Structure 1
Amino acid sequence: MGTTIKDTIRKQGHDKNVPLYFPKIADIKAAASTIAKVAHVTPLQQSIRYSKKFNAEILLKREDLHRVRSYKIRGAFNKISSLTQEELKQGVVCASAGNHAQGVAFACNHLGVQGTIFMPVVTPKQKIDQTKMFGGDWVNVVLEGDTFDDSSKAAHLFCEAQNKTFVHPFDDPKTIEGQATVGLEIMNQSEVQIDYVFVAVGGGGLASGLCATFKELSPKTKIIGIEPEGAPSMTKSIAAGQLVELPEIDKFIDGAAVQKVGGYTYSICKEHLHKMITVPEGKVCQTILELYNRDAIVVEPAGALTIAALDSFKEEIEGKNVVCIVSGSNNDITRTAEIKERALLYGNLKHYFIIRFPQRPGALKEFVADILGPDDDITHFEYSKKSSRENAPAVVGIELKSPEDLEPLMQRMKANNFFGDYLNDKPDLFQYLI
């Protein structure tokens, strides 16, 4: 199997700078035996609501239900378990935006291995606290840089200086083989032929593992990779035919926001993914809120990517059997306000304006009574009175019940001389003011 795939890659043209590797099913099964010591088999649940919505059999692989609340425990434990006694004694290092860190921390504590974990400074506090809790006295957490890539560079330098083993979150054969065990479980749990598997792509470790498992056990299954719109590193690399490092990314979906994917993972994904797509961060936020409010499922942004992508395939998946990997649930409650804000902005329900208020008593009352619609709600208001001017500007945020309410609202503002400017379509000014 491995030889055939390597020959295929060579015929199609292989980037010499990218490692030539494809997971063997025997190694994936060995990883499953190793991981069984610490990770239970996660449920494969039918979603009645999404199945009805898309007229398909939608199954959720609940990787968010691991003790570390993500699939990352698989690859981390498999990698560290593969090390020699000398390597274990020397200690391990990793870099992570949060979930891999928790997997490594748990593995270090379980196996009695000293670990140093580098995480971005902007990592949600919940993930930092969980990492320290799982690792106990066996791990030291170092906050370094603004992105995963910043932390990774610092971790590699530290690792080389201290002669420790680096436990890569995605670009390592043992990590990939560990993540591939998700596919083995799906095959064992499903009573039907799986037509599609939707998987979130950050560095590409899980996607690579699923490609290997299904190519061997269910070659007709199509693997769909999903990235955040603001961090399309795998999408750009596949389109360019080579590894691409993005100069800037949106870090909001921290579990899937990397500037450069791995060499191993790129090599596998570019040949074996059926399709790569991106999903807007706002759409992901809508899905997070929907899952919580309607299904009582708590997911982190990366964990909602696969379900958020279903709308883009609604015609293609009709009547099919579809698995969405719910990759993690390490969400910080302090992010709820931002998640709601992004969801409303994406749904065209939240709008920001510069409003010109006449400097006379009753102007605000007039605006509320005569300009706002009966279902409109002011959710943001910043005003500074300038006594020497006829009008004074205020930044006003308004939440609508329906996107169709926007145009009539703007017309009333203009007709009554309140309208100053619309901020949603001016990203530079919007970011500065809001």
Structure 2
Amino acid sequence: MTLHIETPLINSRALSLRTGRTVLLKLEGLQPGGSFKLRGVGFACEEHKHRGARRFVTASGGNAGYAVAYAGRELGIPVTVVVPQTTSERARALIRGEEAEVIVHGASFGESNDHALSILRDGDAYLHAFDDPLLWEGHATMVEEIARQTERPDLLVCSVGGGGLLAGVIEGLRRVGWSDIPVLAVETAGANSYDQALKAGEPVTLPKIQSVATSLGANKVTARIVTLAKEHQIRNCLVTDAEAIQGSVTLLEEHRLLSEPACGASVAALARVPEYFPDAQRIVVIACGGVGTTSQQLLEWSDFYRLECDPLTASHSDEVNSLESQQS
């Protein structure tokens, strides 16, 4: 018995029609913790409880903290979550609702994480939000589920914050014998710590996060995903905040799914598939979820960050026009 559940994998008719490809959505927002985070966090918390932990301590912008709080309540272990000032009031309230202590400290995840480490005492188990092999092991279970739920895809698409999801996805692909399936890793332009790490060949620290996709706001990624880029076919792409928000709006309108822009970014990246993986026809998108956004906030953002057209439809139209011109 695990703390996470097996989530549906659905064929998105709407996204398939818009892109001219078969698009499948892995609905991780349906986890009890609201995001994929519960997979790795639940696995790690159970392991730490088995080792005798008497309190769980973590730092998080929201989703990981909520997952630790949920796991702690389910396992009967007290939880302290340190969140940065950028964490929404909704996310803080949800964490408190799981009977966890919430400490607001710092302007970024890095500052919150340093504070979390400073308050550790004997009997505490520290849970990093993304840089922990136990998390990657737990996150890998989603790919094992995908392999049971569908035939082999041509491409997986997932968002990248600190890199825990990406590391888990690659481990999962290896587990099921799909090591040759490429991954499109997605960030917003104002939270591009992986993009910068790949250019430098090692993790670098961003001086500031400038994106509404705060769940992608890790100033520095885990070194693991920089190494994995040398071992696995990973392409990194950037989308704008406006595109990420539109991706979340699309999930809300077409599938009645409320998600953060960090999740919408992966939907938006479908418009980049013709550029990065033109032959990919069967695509699985990890709809990672997120609890920090309300429907009202999402609609307000979509009004402020307005796009002139749907980039998915435009991309498909451009591709069709290109093919027609080649044939004529």
TM range (shorter): 0.7 to 0.9
Give SS of 1:309's match: helix
Match among 82, 87, 96 for residue 118 of structure 1: 82
Counterpart CA distance in 2 for 1:156 and 1:299 is 30
Query: Are 2:265 and 1:305 equivalent residues in the alignment?
Result: yes
Give SS of 1:59's match: strand
Query: Are 2:158 and 1:196 equivalent residues in the alignment?
Result: no
Q: Match for residue 24 of structure 1? A: none
Cα 1:176–1:51 shift into 2, 3 Å: same
Q: Match for residue 318 of structure 2? A: none
Query: Are 2:19 and 1:60 equivalent residues in the alignment?
Result: no
Cα 1:264–1:274 shift into 2, 3 Å: closer
Q: Deviations over 1:201-225 (max 9, x none)?
A: 0011111111122134112211111
Give SS of 2:305's match: helix
Query: Are 2:184 and 1:224 equivalent residues in the alignment?
Result: yes
Q: Match for residue 208 of structure 2? A: 248
Match among 149, 152, 155 for residue 116 of structure 2: 155
The answer to whether the Cα contact below 8 Å between 2:249 and 2:299 also exists between their aligned partners in 1 is no
Give SS of 1:220's match: coil
Aligned pair count reads 307
Counterpart CA distance in 1 for 2:10 and 2:298 is 26
Cα 1:322–1:148 shift into 2, 3 Å: same
Q: Deviations over 1:303-337 (max 9, x none)?
A: 11111001111363566110000001422245235
Q: Match for residue 29 of structure 1? A: none
Match among 333, 336, 346 for residue 298 of structure 2: 336
Counterpart CA distance in 1 for 2:114 and 2:233 is 28
The answer to whether the Cα contact below 8 Å between 1:61 and 1:323 also exists between their aligned partners in 2 is yes
Give SS of 2:195's match: helix
The answer to whether the Cα contact below 8 Å between 2:189 and 2:211 also exists between their aligned partners in 1 is no
Note the 1:85-234 alignment, pairs <5 A: 85=50, 87-89=52-54, 91-134=55-98, 136=99, 139-159=100-120, 164-190=124-150, 192-216=151-175, 217-234=177-194
Identity, % of aligned pairs?
A: 26
Query: Are 2:8 and 1:38 equivalent residues in the alignment?
Result: no
Counterpart CA distance in 2 for 1:182 and 1:107 is 18
Query: Are 2:41 and 1:76 equivalent residues in the alignment?
Result: yes
Query: Given residue 8 of structure 2, which amino acid in structure 1 is its aligned partner?
Result: P
Give SS of 2:196's match: helix
Counterpart CA distance in 1 for 2:191 and 2:10 is 29
Give SS of 1:276's match: strand
Higher relative contact order (CA 8 A, sep 6+): 2
Q: Deviations over 1:72-93 (max 9, x none)?
A: 111111111112656412x221
Give SS of 1:94's match: strand
Cα 1:115–1:54 shift into 2, 3 Å: same
The answer to whether the Cα contact below 8 Å between 1:288 and 1:300 also exists between their aligned partners in 2 is yes
Cα 1:176–1:292 shift into 2, 3 Å: same
Give the superposition deviation at 1:62. Answer: 0.2
Counterpart CA distance in 2 for 1:158 and 1:270 is 36
Cα 1:329–1:258 shift into 2, 3 Å: closer
Give SS of 2:198's match: helix
Counterpart CA distance in 1 for 2:109 and 2:90 is 16
Match among 246, 257, 262 for residue 286 of structure 1: 246
Cα 1:54–1:80 shift into 2, 3 Å: same
Give SS of 1:268's match: helix
Counterpart CA distance in 2 for 1:248 and 1:319 is 34
Counterpart CA distance in 1 for 2:12 and 2:119 is 45
The structure that has the greater radius of gyration is 1
Query: Are 2:292 and 1:326 equivalent residues in the alignment?
Result: no
Give the superposition deviation at 1:283. Answer: 0.8
The answer to whether the Cα contact below 8 Å between 1:55 and 1:319 also exists between their aligned partners in 2 is no
TM-score, normalised via structure 2 length: 0.87
Computed over aligned residues only, the root mean square deviation of the Cα atoms, in angstroms, reads 2.1
Cα 1:171–1:295 shift into 2, 3 Å: same
Counterpart CA distance in 1 for 2:250 and 2:118 is 42
The answer to whether the Cα contact below 8 Å between 2:258 and 2:294 also exists between their aligned partners in 1 is no
Give ranges in structure 2 of 5+ residues lacking alignment.
311-328
Counterpart CA distance in 2 for 1:254 and 1:45 is 27
Give SS of 1:149's match: helix
Counterpart CA distance in 2 for 1:264 and 1:318 is 28
The answer to whether the Cα contact below 8 Å between 1:124 and 1:332 also exists between their aligned partners in 2 is no
Counterpart CA distance in 1 for 2:296 and 2:13 is 30
Give SS of 2:212's match: coil
Query: Given residue 153 of structure 2, which amino acid in structure 1 is its aligned partner?
Result: I
